[in-house]
């Protein structure tokens, strides 16, 4: 069977890196998962975290690489503190989180390790994992890679960061971000169907699209809201996040926070679209305290 890490084309960067032979591409990652942190996490949307927490696995590396990344400590390359894991050890970790009472398994930025992650989910399900499995990602994903998860992932939590290719070029070196992300979300919705909650009020299947409000991004955020509400409406959840915090080295507009007025006006705009499957983060929540204590 073809090793998908050979001449890697797992993400839209399509680097062609020969990862099994030690070469790396844009994501700087080897051909095995590096896990920085595994924990019960309480900072997700209430339908994800609930009261018992979301069983979260934070992977190192990212194939999008936003200049303002809130998880920059682990997303820019191997930290040297990550644990090398395979499908069996990952499956064991998911089962342990289930034993600890996790509402779900929440895999954060796993797509550059997709073949191993898909195998790990299949193994865990065969071994008794029966809580929902969620993939939490940047939205800059290839449909062909997402198909590896078809029938395995219950919930997707992608970002839709930008509508404008000017912004996606400037902040993520990805002029094609919007069109790639739109196709990816279509595939995610196709796989999971409409979002559905259980009697416990927690999500069992579906898609939650996150949008982080950026400083100076009011009009772009409106375009993202227009797109998502007109294409999917309440078939998906939309989560509007105002937790943006400038990271070290931030320049220009990114040095500040989005204003409270901007965030409130976007919340009103979303409400005006009759999007009741929505979350709007409190303006005062967030900031650096939302960022987990990564091993660095
Ligand atoms: S997953 Fe990494 S190596 Fe593979 S194409 Fe994407 S950035 Fe390049």
Q: What is the mean pLDDT of residues 230-258?
A: 93
Residue closest via CA to ligand 1's atom 2 equals 27
Asked if pLDDT for residue 286 goes beyond 70, the answer is: no
Q: What is the domain count for the chain?
A: 1
Report if residue 220 sits inside a domain: yes
C-alpha 174/C-alpha 155 separation (Å) is 25
Domain that holds residue 267: 30-290
DSSP 3-state helix, strand, coil percentages of the chain (rounded to 5)?
35, 20, 45
Asked if pLDDT for residue 161 goes beyond 70, the answer is: yes
Report if residue 275 sits inside a domain: yes
C-alpha 185/C-alpha 214 separation (Å) is 21
Report whether 214 contacts 240 (CB < 8 A).
Answer: no
Asked if pLDDT for residue 285 goes beyond 70, the answer is: no
Does the beta carbon of 244 lie inside 6 Å of ligand 1? no
* CB-based burial label for 38 (10 Å; 0-12, 13-18, 19+): middle
Q: What is the mean pLDDT of residues 109-123?
A: 98
> What is the whole-number distance in angstroms between the Cα of residue 111 and the centre of ligand 1?
9
Q: What is the mean pLDDT of residues 174-185?
A: 98
- What CATH number is given to the structural domain containing 133? 3.20.20.70
Query: What pLDDT, on a 0 to 100 scale, did the predictor assign at position 292?
Result: 78
Report if residue 254 sits inside a domain: yes
Report if residue 6 sits inside a domain: no
pTM: 0.97
Tell me: the pLDDT tens digits for 220-239?
A: 999 999 999 999 999 999 99
> What is the whole-number distance in angstroms between the Cα of residue 33 and the centre of ligand 1?
13
> What is the whole-number distance in angstroms between the Cα of residue 35 and the centre of ligand 1?
17
Does the beta carbon of 83 lie inside 6 Å of ligand 1? no
């Amino acid at each position: 069977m073809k090793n998908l890490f050979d001449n890697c084309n797992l993400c839209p960067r399509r680097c062609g890196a020969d990862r099994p032979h030690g070469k790396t591409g844009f994501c700087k990652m080897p051909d095995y998962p590096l896990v920085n942190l595994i924990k019960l996490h309480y900072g997700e949307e209430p339908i994800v975290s609930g009261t018992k927490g979301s069983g979260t696995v934070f992977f190192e590396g990212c194939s999008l690489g936003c200049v303002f990344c809130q998880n920059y400590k682990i997303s820019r390359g191997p930290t040297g503190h990550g644990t090398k894991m395979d499908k069996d050890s990952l499956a064991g970790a998911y089962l342990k989180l289930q034993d600890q009472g996790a509402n779900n398994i929440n895999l954060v930025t796993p797509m550059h390790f997709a073949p191993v992650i898909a195998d790990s989910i299949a193994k865990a399900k065969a071994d008794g994992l029966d809580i929902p499995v969620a993939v939490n990602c940047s939205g800059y994903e290839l449909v062909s890679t997402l198909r590896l998860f078809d029938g395995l992932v219950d919930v997707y939590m992608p970002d839709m960061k930008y509508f404008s290719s000017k912004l996606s070029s400037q902040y993520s070196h990805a002029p094609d971000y919007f069109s790639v992300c739109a196709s990816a979300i279509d595939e995610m919705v196709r796989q999971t169907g409409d979002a559905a909650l259980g009697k416990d009020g927690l999500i069992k299947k579906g898609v939650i699209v996150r949008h982080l409000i950026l400083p100076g991004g009011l009009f772009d955020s409106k375009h993202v809201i227009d797109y998502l509400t007109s294409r999917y409406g309440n078939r998906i959840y939309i989560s509007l996040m105002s937790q943006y915090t400038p990271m070290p080295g931030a320049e220009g507009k990114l040095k500040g926070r989005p204003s409270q007025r901007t965030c409130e006006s976007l919340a009103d705009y979303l409400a005006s679209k009759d999007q009741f499957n929505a979350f709007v983060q409190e303006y005062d929540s967030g900031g650096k305290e939302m960022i987990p204590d990564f091993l660095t």
